[in-house]
Amino acid sequence: MIETWGHASDGTLVKRVTISRHGLTARLLSFGATLQDLRIEGHKPSLVMGYTTLTPYLTNPNYFGSTVGRYANRIKNGRFTLNGEIIQLDQNTQQGHHLHGGRFGSSHRHWQIVEASKHEVLLKDVLPDGHMGYPGNLSVMSRFKIEDDCSLSQTITAHCDAPTLCNYTSHNYFNLDGGGDIRNHRLQVSADHYLPVDDDDIPDGCAACVEGTRFDYKDAKLLNEDGACTHLDHNFCLSQRPKELSQAAVISSDKSKLRCEVWTNQPGLQIFTGGSNPHNDSHSASTGIALEPQGWPDAPNNPEFPTTVLNPGEEYFHETRFRILRQA
């Protein structure tokens, strides 16, 4: 079902698409290719954080539900070198770094609805050469589909006409019980290493072993295992390159008896609990956990990280599934 959901500040019509299958219902916006709402039959609250009206999405400083690109996460000083040329990107953080594709990245653009059915929708956007400083025209397609295994999948493909960067993610904040925080949620992450960061959340360039640290989630544990909701805004290293679809993480709630499995082909998983996020909206800190499959942050400035360069003739391919299950 496609409905008119309002008009952006420039007058552009914003549409909302509802897809449903096997008791799972998702509502998606053409603005930002955004997952606005996700519900499973028999559980009243939405499983993801979002707004009930369009206006907050037009700024959306926390990227609730947005499809984020052309580069998810951070690039130090908004600067990198590509084929011997220094590229300067939009510096949209207070510290002067580049975040989530810039202030008018994919999360804040109007996507075209190409096709829609009862259980899937395909959206498209074309980012022009020079947009937010990136070289090359980039054509992006994002397909949301409710699969037979009761998962919401998002497949993103992209092509370019000049060497550029391409690194997308879905910026969904999950809360599986509808409560005021996520401290009673359990987290498991299939990663042996993570990226330590500096005070600006920029990786220091070396992956570190999770064993013996607070970042060891190989076995599921409560987010407040140590008595306080541990703040996370870190990349967990899943692999050295994109791979076959595999399980990356599981978030679960003993209260609702629901769990969400995160399956992806991406080499990294950024996890953000929002513990230090200065919200200026109706959502308080630590009310949701963002699970963001993507390439590693600041990869263009770290040659040993998995590459995020896309060349003409190549296809960027990102696949993620959020599988919702009921626990016994």
List, for residues 212-246, the tens digit of each pLDDT value. Answer: 999 999 999 998 876 445 688 999 999 999 999 99
Q: Contact, 32 vs 111, CB < 8 A?
A: yes
Residue 46 in this model has a pLDDT that exceeds 80: yes
Residue found by looking up tokens 């969400």 in the block: 260
Q: What is the pTM of this model?
A: 0.94
Query: Can 171 be counted among the known catalytic residues?
Result: yes
70: left (phi over 0), alpha (psi -120 to 50) or beta: alpha
Mean pLDDT over the full length of the chain: 93
The per-residue pLDDT for 164 is: 98
**DSSP codes of every residue in 103-127:** TTSGGGSBPEEEEE-SSEEEEEEEE
Question: CB–CB of 160/70 below 8 Å?
Answer: no
Residue 278 pLDDT > 80, yes or no?
Answer: no
Q: What per-residue confidence (pLDDT) applies to 284?
A: 54
Q: Token digits for 137?
A: 């025209």
Q: Which two tokens stand for residue 279?
A: 């919200």
Q: Within a 13 Å sphere around the CA of 243, how many CA atoms are in the beta-carbon half?
A: 15
Does the annotation count 43 as an active-site position?
no
Q: Which of 97, 98, 171, 318 is catalytic?
A: 171
Instruction: Check whether 179 has a pLDDT greater than 90.
Output: no
Cis previous bond, 70, omega within 30: yes
Of the residues 120, 261, 292, 319, which is catalytic? 292
Kindly state the average pLDDT of the residues 197-225.
93
Fold of the domain built from segment(s) 2-326: Beta-galactosidase; Chain A, domain 5 (2.70.98)
For 63-122, write each residue's pLDDT tens digit: 999 999 999 999 999 999 999 999 999 999 999 999 999 999 999 999 999 999 999 999
Domain assignments of the chain as residue spans, ordered by start: 2-326
Q: Of 148-157, 166-175, 224-233, which gets the smallest average pLDDT?
A: 224-233
Model confidence at 280: pLDDT above 60: no
pLDDT band at 183 (very low <50, low <70, confident <90, very high): confident
State residue 226's pLDDT score: 61
